[in-house]
């Protein structure tokens, strides 16, 4: 397979085995995909990396050190930014759950009061 790109100008210029596309070109492809799929969000390479780091890896239990290496970081400090986003999401979700439980408990308490009145 690498023989195919052996004399490719981009490979020769950058000293790589495979040619790579520019960030601008990738963003253009992502925009086209977003348009076809009728996604209103502005899809970018940065957003794709962020989604990969948070939604696909960290929220599915992949260790932060592994995610850091997968993203090509030398240090996990940058990856910890993504982890904080995940922690914030967990915190927000727990607040929603707490609210639902409180509302549910109020309904149960009300039902108990009504039942007591009926049998008193």
List the chain domain ranges.
22-119
How confident is the model over 12-45, as pLDDT tens digits?
Answer: 888 888 888 889 999 999 999 999 999 999 999 9
How confident is the model over 5-17, as pLDDT tens digits?
Answer: 888 888 888 888 8
pLDDT average, residue stretch 33-60 = 92
pLDDT of residue 37: 96
CA angle 35, 67, 31 (to 5 degrees): 10
Element (H, E) at 65: helix 64-70
pLDDT average, residue stretch 83-102 = 82
Percent of the chain whose pLDDT exceeds 90:
32
Grade residue 70 by pLDDT with cuts at 50, 70 and 90: very high
Grade residue 61 by pLDDT with cuts at 50, 70 and 90: confident
- Measured CA to CA, the distance from residue 89 to residue 49 in angstroms comes to 17
* Cβ neighbour number for residue 52 with a 10 Å cutoff: 15
pLDDT average, residue stretch 75-102 = 83
Grade residue 4 by pLDDT with cuts at 50, 70 and 90: confident
């Amino acid at each position: 397979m690498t023989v195919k790109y052996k004399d490719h100008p981009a490979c020769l210029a950058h000293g790589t085995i495979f040619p790579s596309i520019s960030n601008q070109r990738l963003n253009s492809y992502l925009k086209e995909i977003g348009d076809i799929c009728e996604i209103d969000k502005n899809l970018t390479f940065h957003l794709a990396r962020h989604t990969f780091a948070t939604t696909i890896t960290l929220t599915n239990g992949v260790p932060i050190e592994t995610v850091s290496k997968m993203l090509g970081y030398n240090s996990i400090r940058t990856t910890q930014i993504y982890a904080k986003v995940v922690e914030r999401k967990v915190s927000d979700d727990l607040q929603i759950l707490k609210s639902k439980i409180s509302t549910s408990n109020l309904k149960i308490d009300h039902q108990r009061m009504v039942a007591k009145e009926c049998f008193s």
